């Protein structure tokens, strides 16, 4: 075994140019191969390894990771220190505007994960009778109205609070707090679920590292990247999301070859793979659409980076719509080809929950399944990191407005320009997943409760800001600022009704806790939560948002 692994690891390094992200990644991969080789050869449990070897390995890994960060930061940035300590913000305690359109799109795709389409394959194709592509088209059309509302609100308020800030300024501060409080469910639970899934699956492949060990490794890595700043995390998103897209393209190409060779559907143009009138089930399609709506969560998170984006009023709305429509079209196209590969999967799958692995086994055997596993686990970590980035910005905005304790939540690191306290807190909360794994999956639908409730309120905010406050009521404005938001509200109300009853009860209980908290800090709802000045939130005032000056005025 060792005779084969050592030349393989050397070969990895031989064709990759030094001083690039790929060289350092290859170096880490080679070190991992050698480490696994030694562990498997010794047959020792983790606790029996020699401490001196562990310390030496840890030191080597730290050096490699730092070099990886420097390589990702790029030579034009002067390495890691240029991206952090040497680049002081224009205003102390403010975000740095370093994200271009491609970084925003990569962040949104990282949050929703392009490979998520495969995770829903089994249950969606079974529920729709093989018309998963149609279900995705329905879901994309439904989500478009809300994505359009987010794009409009970012133009009005290009600040980090997202739905919380939009509702707070356009409807009512009390409703804004309630919206932000409920959205915390979505952003706080997703990292917990992602890290736990990563730990469980990695433990299946590398059992000598316990589940909790993988969770800690993933959480520490995610927290470190988020603390170092948006530039590094943005470029890492681009790299990993590109890998996911390449896998999707490769798999579609493999399916085309498979079908052309008269396997599967036997042809590439099969209308029944989208709509088969003979077996269409409206109830099944709507149920699948409500489930698949979760796979679109990510376009909304892009808006939390508005204070770190270049030209936020232009780039953030574009990124929101690109992520929603681009991901939806890609999901539908991939689903179409998956149906071509196995037209009768909806009735032949042995276990729909892991149906994608049955399909991959038919297409490429164990090697293809392993490739998907590695790609999907990378996507899982990236989704958790994106969720932590989003929730840390939401907590920062609520702290800056002094709705949450400002000393802890409303501060940014002067060195990194990131909300370090919030990142560490949310990462610590994500670590608690290892203590109640059995209950976490049952509560996973709480993420849908928080997200869908937030979507409803953002559509309400569009009506409140444009149609009522600014009186935009011409022919086209009625369509954009009244009809489309009302359509978004109606669609999300239907999705909200379909959420599990227990999840709705837990979500409402969480809202009740928030109302009690708000009553305490507002002295029995007698003081009015005033947000930061709108001129501080405007991109025209300065390149960075200034220090908070909001108060709870009596």
Instruction: Supply the DSSP symbol for 552.
Output: E
Instruction: Give the Cα separation of 152 and 174 in Å (integer).
Output: 22
Evaluated on CA atoms 283, 284, 285, 290, the torsion sign reads positive
What token pair was written down for 329?
């079209």
Is residue 99 located within the same domain as residue 173? yes
pLDDT score of 474: 87
Q: Which of 83, 109, 125 is the last residue of a domain?
A: 83
Is residue 17 located within the same domain as residue 133? no
Beta-bridge partners for 99: 309
Is residue 63 located within the same domain as residue 89? no
Q: What is the C-alpha R_g of the chain?
A: 24
Is residue 128 located within the same domain as residue 26? no
- Using alpha carbons, select from 413, 414, 441, 246 the residue that is nearest to residue 330: 246
Is residue 168 located within the same domain as residue 275? yes
Is residue 365 located within the same domain as residue 453? yes
**DSSP run (H or E) holding 474:** none
Non-local (6+) Cβ contacts of 9 within 8 A are: 29, 30, 31, 33, 34
pLDDT score of 443: 52
User: Vertex 510, ends 507 and 512: CA angle to 5°?
Assistant: 115
Beta-bridge partners for 309: 99
Query: Which domain range does residue 299 map to?
Result: 84-436+443-553
Is residue 54 located within the same domain as residue 152? no
pLDDT score of 112: 87
Non-local (6+) Cβ contacts of 392 within 8 A are: 226, 418, 419, 422, 423, 426
pLDDT score of 93: 54
What token pair was written down for 492?
């999300």
Non-local (6+) Cβ contacts of 334 within 8 A are: 117, 118, 248, 251, 252
CB 95 within 8 A of CB 545: yes
CB 235 within 8 A of CB 72: yes
Is residue 53 located within the same domain as residue 186? no
Instruction: Give the Cα separation of 173 and 403 in Å (integer).
Output: 10
H helices, E strands: number in the chain:
24, 2
Is residue 279 located within the same domain as residue 231? yes
CATH of the domain at 540: 1.20.1740.10
Is residue 132 located within the same domain as residue 216? yes
Percent helix, strand, coil in the chain (nearest 5)?
A: 75, 0, 25
pLDDT score of 94: 67
**Total tally of structural domains belonging to the chain:** 2
CB 246 within 8 A of CB 446: no
Q: Which of 24, 59, 83 is the last residue of a domain?
A: 83
Instruction: Give the Cα separation of 74 and 343 in Å (integer).
Output: 46
Instruction: Give the Cα separation of 154 and 148 in Å (integer).
Output: 10
Q: Which of 83, 111, 136 is the last residue of a domain?
A: 83
Instruction: Supply the DSSP symbol for 87.
Output: S
Non-local (6+) Cβ contacts of 304 within 8 A are: 160, 161, 162, 389, 390, 393, 394
3-class DSSP state for residue 99? strand
Q: At what angle do helices 282-292 and 132-156 cross, to 10 degrees?
A: 40
Is residue 481 located within the same domain as residue 426? yes
Is residue 30 located within the same domain as residue 100? no
pLDDT score of 439: 54
3-class DSSP state for residue 358? helix
**CB-CB neighbours of 280 under 10 Å:** 13
What token pair was written down for 401?
């407005």
pLDDT in tens, the chain (554 residues): 333 333 333 333 333 334 344 444 444 444 444 443 444 344 443 333 344 443 444 444 444 444 444 444 444 443 333 333 333 343 445 677 888 898 899 889 988 888 889 988 988 899 899 999 999 999 998 899 999 999 999 999 998 888 888 999 999 888 999 998 998 887 888 888 888 888 888 887 888 888 889 999 999 999 999 998 877 888 888 888 899 999 999 999 999 998 888 777 777 888 888 988 888 888 888 888 877 887 888 888 899 889 889 999 999 999 999 999 999 999 999 999 999 999 988 888 888 877 888 899 888 888 888 899 889 888 889 889 988 998 898 899 889 888 888 889 988 888 888 899 999 999 998 888 777 655 555 556 677 788 889 999 999 999 999 999 999 998 889 999 999 999 999 988 988 887 778 888 888 999 999 999 888 888 887 776 565 554 454 443 333 333 333 333 32
What token pair was written down for 123?
């249950």
């Amino acid at each position: 075994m060792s005779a084969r692994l050592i030349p393989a690891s050397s070969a990895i390094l031989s064709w990759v140019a030094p001083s690039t992200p790929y060289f350092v990644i290859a170096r880490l991969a080679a070190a991992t191969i050698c480490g696994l080789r030694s562990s498997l050869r010794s047959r020792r449990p983790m606790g029996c390894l020699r401490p001196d070897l562990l310390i030496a390995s840890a030191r080597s890994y730290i050096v490699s990771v730092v070099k990886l960060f420097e390589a990702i930061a790029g030579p034009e940035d002067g390495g890691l220190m240029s991206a952090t300590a040497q680049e002081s913000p224009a205003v102390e305690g403010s975000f740095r505007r370093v994200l271009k359109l491609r970084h925003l799109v990569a962040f949104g795709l990282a949050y929703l994960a392009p490979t998520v389409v495969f995770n829903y394959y089994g249950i969606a194709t079974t529920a729709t009778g093989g018309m998963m592509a149609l279900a995705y088209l329905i879901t994309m059309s439904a989500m478009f109205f809300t994505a359009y509302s987010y794009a409009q609100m970012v133009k009005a308020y290009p600040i980090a609070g997202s739905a919380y800030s939009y509702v707070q300024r356009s409807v009512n501060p009390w409703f804004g707090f309630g919206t932000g409080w409920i959205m915390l469910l979505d952003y706080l639970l997703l990292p917990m679920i992602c890290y736990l899934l990563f730990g469980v699956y990695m433990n299946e492949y590398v059992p000598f590292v316990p589940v909790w060990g993988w969770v800690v490794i993933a959480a520490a890595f995610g927290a470190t990247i988020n603390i170092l700043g948006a530039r590094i995390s943005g470029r890492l998103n681009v790299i990993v999301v590109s890998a996911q897209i390449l896998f999707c393209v490769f798999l579609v190409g493999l399916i085309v070859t498979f079908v052309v060779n008269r396997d599967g559907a036997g042809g590439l143009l099969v209308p029944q793979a989208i709509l088969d009138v003979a077996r269409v089930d409206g109830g099944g399609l709507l149920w699948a659409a409500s489930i698949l709506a979760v796979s679109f969560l990510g376009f909304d998170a892009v808006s939390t980076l508005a204070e770190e984006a270049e030209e936020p009023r232009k780039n953030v709305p574009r990124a929101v719509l690109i992520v929603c429509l681009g991901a939806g079209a890609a999901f539908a196209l991939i689903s179409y080809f998956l149906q071509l590969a196995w037209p009768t999967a909806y009735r032949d799958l042995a276990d729909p929950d892991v149906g994608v692995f049955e399909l991959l086994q038919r297409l490429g055997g164990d090697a293809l399944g392993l490739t998907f596993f590695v790609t999907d686990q990378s996507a899982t970590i990236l989704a958790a990191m994106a969720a932590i980035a989003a929730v840390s910005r939401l907590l920062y905005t609520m702290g800056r407005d002094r709705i949450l304790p400002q000393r802890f939540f409303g501060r940014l690191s002067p060195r990194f320009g990131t909300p370090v306290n919030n990142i560490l807190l949310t990462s610590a909360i994500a670590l608690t997943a290892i203590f109640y794994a059995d209950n976490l999956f049952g509560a996973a639908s709480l993420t849908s409760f928080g997200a869908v409730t937030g979507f409803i309120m953002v559509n309400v905010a569009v009506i409140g800001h444009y149609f009522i406050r600014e009186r935009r009521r011409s022919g086209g404005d009625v369509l954009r600022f009244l009809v489309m938001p009302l359509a978004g509200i109606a669609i999300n109300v239907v999705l909200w009704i379909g959420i599990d009853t227990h999840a709705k009860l837990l979500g409402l209980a969480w809202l009740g806790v928030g109302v009690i908290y708000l009553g305490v800090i507002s002295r029995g709802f007698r003081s009015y939560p005033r947000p930061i000045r709108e001129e501080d939130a405007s991109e025209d005032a300065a390149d960075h948002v200034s220090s908070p000056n909001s108060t709870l005025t009596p």
